[in-house]
Amino acid sequence: MNRVEQWLHEQRRVGRDLFLMFDTDGQSEARTALAADLGTDQFRHLYAGTAAESLAQTGPLLLRIDTARHPVIQALLATPDRHWGWLASAEHVALDDLTRHWHERVVTGERPNLAVYRVHDNRVLGRALAHLQPEQYATLLGPISSVCYWHAGQWNVADNPDPGEHPLPIDPPWLQTPIPELIYANVLFDNARRYLVGEHTEAMAKLAEQLDMDDWLWGQIQLTRLWSWQQPEQVHFLLTQSLQLSGYVLPKSWLPKPEEDPAVHFDRVSQQVLYWQESGAL
């Protein structure tokens, strides 16, 4: 019996309910099958009712599952390196109550600098729990009693020392989790792809007729790192304005000048684009 099987056996033994935090990206067949078999009353769209509402229909799901023996769930458990999410258990918690808990935690920041916290990603959860002290788990996990997730090449288990309702801390400690540069770039790529496909669908479809969409987007993400444009408004500007360029080729005037500070560079380019737009050049 492996670690995840042991965890499932223990949750059944103590009579806890099971939940699946499911990242549906790239899992359309599994998503359809689970939604059909479990019924609409057994799952919630994680982003519905939040500032990320526009991503809800294609975003992650929170599901109550009676058993992990469902064929789709068994297939997921057999392929943890596909990073489809994680399992949780709780003591008779209503699905709506658990959803409300996560609604307070999946969007961070203040307008216009909101960001999605990818708590449905097992890698994000794993890094957060590795960073937190066990006594801090409760403010992140809330009503959840225990979680089982794939991280660093193995199944891991974390038990919540104080399951229940906990207010969102003013400065959530999990948002201070160090993120290696490459992991940050991949998370940014994933978030940006979801946003652009959901909010700029027509423009992305047009781009895909000429270029490999993922290759183009990865190139833009690399530019944000190269130019040190790390603020949300800078990333948003580069992605959305690049979509409007003829042939998707950056003008030479967008390149940073020698010794130019990243903030000055951004202000110069954004003012230039604003001028072009007002003059009808774009």
Helices then strands, counting H and E runs in the chain, come out as: 11, 8
Number of structural domains in the chain: 2
Residues 6+ away with beta carbon under 8 Å from 133: none
Q: Do 171 and 185 belong to one domain?
A: no
Specify the pLDDT at position 162.
97
What secondary structure letter does DSSP report for 86?
A: E
How far is C-alpha 192 from the geometric centre of its chain's CA atoms?
10
Domain hosting residue 244, numbered range: 181-279
Q: Do 198 and 216 belong to one domain?
A: yes
Averaged over successive runs of 10 residues, the pLDDT of the chain (282 residues) comes to 92 96 88 89 93 84 93 95 95 95 88 77 92 96 97 94 95 85 77 88 93 88 88 91 91 90 93 77 49
Per-residue CA distances from 232 to 115, 237, 272 (Å) = 8, 8, 19
Q: Do 170 and 214 belong to one domain?
A: no
Q: Do 265 and 158 belong to one domain?
A: no
CB-CB contact of 116 with 124 (8 Å) = no
Q: Do 65 and 153 belong to one domain?
A: yes
- pTM given for the model: 0.69
Beta strands in 36-151 (DSSP E): 43-45, 61-65, 85-90, 107-108, 115-116, 144-151
Out of 124, 150, 176, pick the residue that ends a domain: 176
Q: Do 70 and 202 belong to one domain?
A: no
Specify the pLDDT at position 51.
83
Specify the pLDDT at position 278.
67
Q: Do 102 and 212 belong to one domain?
A: no
Specify the pLDDT at position 111.
64
Out of 127, 160, 176, pick the residue that ends a domain: 176
∠ CA 204-207-211 to the nearest 5 degrees?
A: 130
Out of 147, 176, 205, pick the residue that ends a domain: 176
Q: Do 242 and 121 belong to one domain?
A: no
Residues 6+ away with beta carbon under 8 Å from 125: 86, 119, 147, 149, 151
Q: Do 102 and 190 belong to one domain?
A: no
Q: Please count the other Cβ atoms lying within 10 Å of the Cβ belonging to residue 39.
A: 9
What does residue 150 show for φ and ψ, rounded to 5 degrees?
A: -90, 125
